[in-house]
Structure 1
Amino acid sequence: MSRNPRPGRPGFLALELDGDGAHPAAWRKARHAPDELLNGARIRSTVLAAESAGFHVATFADGPAASSVARVRDAGGRLNALQRAAFAGPVTSSIVLVPEVDTVYTEPFHISTQLASLDYVSGGRAGWLVAASGYAEEAAAVGRSFVEDAARAQEAAASVEVSRRLWDSWEDDAVIRDVPTGRYLDVDKLHYIDFETPADFAGAGYSVKGPSIIPRPLQGQLPVVAQAGLLPSDVDVVLVSAPTPSLLAAEVAEVRARTVIGGGPTLAGGPAVVAELDVVLDSRGQSASARLAELDAFTPWSSSRARFVGTAAELADFLAELLAVADGVRLHPAVLDVELEELAQLVLPELRRRGALQPVAHGGTFRELLGLERPLSRYSSLGAAAGAAVVGAEN
């Protein structure tokens, strides 16, 4: 798995499509009837609008919508992220679909097979935004004890490792469909993964025998996306946050240096580094600051991400500078309907004019967008030989 070094290459843009927007009061300013939020037409319209605007990636948040008392008054509704992404797969043609899927209170085997299915229905445009829930209500909902912070990273790492092994458990040519002999599979090309959590595992230990119940994903391995610091390695995209926009580029550079030194999943350039940015823009004669104040009067917006508040032209300038050091930027619009209109009409066209964005690739995969090769199964004879060669080179 090799990836071209980032500096000097055009970047990509991702858009978070959760609910009515990132601001807790976004539903009050949405341009649709309240009862339209939780239906297929809304999912279709937003993801197609993002694709038409030229976004490369759409992400889908998950987890409890009302995670604190302060947000109960403006709690937004949402459907399951992976199912939203699966619904969007057949109706889109170029945009990558990356749902957030929890690794703490979701069975790893189910995660692996559902994400592999998403890769099929999207034609290889699927990714996985790894989450490690810190909410007690999620534990209660599935009848599990709450997992403390120290164990969450271990749970996430184990779930990713299980999924990666299960995706490899079918070799690419395992399905033979031999009508004369009645053989659908070459059983010699299905493999047990024999995963067991390590002895120092903080949570309840478990094992997974495998193999998977569906063929290997179209991409071989779906790209894994995670917040910086959640997974120590084996991640393809790192999401980077900072307290303010002025600190974001420096934080991107620091994380890139740290991941390249630490290894990461690739031998050339480490994982892709993507900056996180909340966005509030001027719209239809109302300033961004006035819009934000109006929304905050209902429920103040608390976020760990940097926040840009200004005009579309100013945002285009800022993103052009940021994309010179980051592989991509994920935008979190305050109000999806409002910000997406400004981004589509004013920001993305300007960035394309400047050559700051990669072309949109119809029929491309997420791995291709990231510059990642399609890997061999680790259990195939060629994959095992390649893995041994990599270990030898590292030693």
Structure 2
Amino acid sequence: MSAAPERRTDASDRPASDTGLVAELEVERGGFRLDAAVSVGPDEVLAVLGPNGSGKSTLLGAIAGHVPLDRGEVRIGGRLLGGADVREVPLAARRIGLLGQQALLFPHLSALENVAFGPRAQGTGRRESRAEAAAWLDRVGLAGFERRRPAELSGGQQQRVALARTLAAKPAALLLDEPFAALDVEAAAGMRRLVREHRTALGIPMLLVTHDPLDALVLAGRAAILQAGRLVDEGPIARVLGHPRTPFIAALAGVDLVEGVALDEATVRASGGLVLRAAEPAGLVPGARASAVFAPGAVHVAPGAAPARGGDAEANHWSGTVASLEPTGGGVRIVAAEHPGVAVDVPTAAAVALDLEAGAALAFRIEAADVSLRPLD
């Protein structure tokens, strides 16, 4: 008589804890490995930012159940949905809403029937499902569009229908995969407003994957930075984007990040000789590594070299020769040959007055109040 097959534990058999979304997972696909743990409260939005190929879509796919886990588990509201050693809850029973760049509406169905699809699939009657769908279309500003098919709607209107369809299905968690990326500025602003309006009322955990720091600033309370399959930083938006830990995060946040050694509690000297001082002590330890952050637009620029200040560079003053000039929104970005990691933005009128050209000598200055310092881990 052959041995009975080993019984795998069903997800519903596992004890549950009263939490929002908790995912501790490891996924290996080809030569890529994702090893990440995220936790999102029941009425919280966590923004996940990272470069292309960092594993953001893999993370969402693993939570949604599209990507199998090699190790770890996923729980929502204390309910174990799946893991490496359990029988996973089927996709249709997970109650996870996923909204991506494309609306992916059923082209042959009207807006009303698209939104009613979720309630109908969950066993709600036809009349009640349509009533719920009409109410959701009204909430997203599409009352009167019930009979239109996707081809008769703009891109922004299609995304509104997709959001209504997702929320009408009463998800236990909402995953947002760059849902505003394909929209124009006005439509994207409208979608952000809708998500922001509904996030508190829904009381469900939301995970927002985005390349745009504006999405994180408007919608999320915390941010997690994913690089090469690992979380390299996580915390409040103001700290993660306000004082980045890596050059990638600094570029994403649009600020200059300078690393060096602390001279005193409020001063940092970078390897290139740049000395930056903050207005208040930052708890730096002399001789220990520290970083300085400031906005490129906070730097004042004047023609000519900065005046010599004895043997040491004066804090928050430096000079350089123009190595490159790039257009920015409403101005010009300057990079000096002596400090290639520091970008300086000047308005168009100021750029014209400076008569900017490659090789021009410039003096730079920044106020101490515009400099943020932090010890490096």
Name the TM-score, length of structure 1 as normaliser: 0.22
Task: Return the structure number with greater strand share.
Answer: 2
The higher radius of gyration belongs to: 2
Name the TM-score, length of structure 2 as normaliser: 0.23
Task: Return the structure number with greater helix share.
Answer: 1
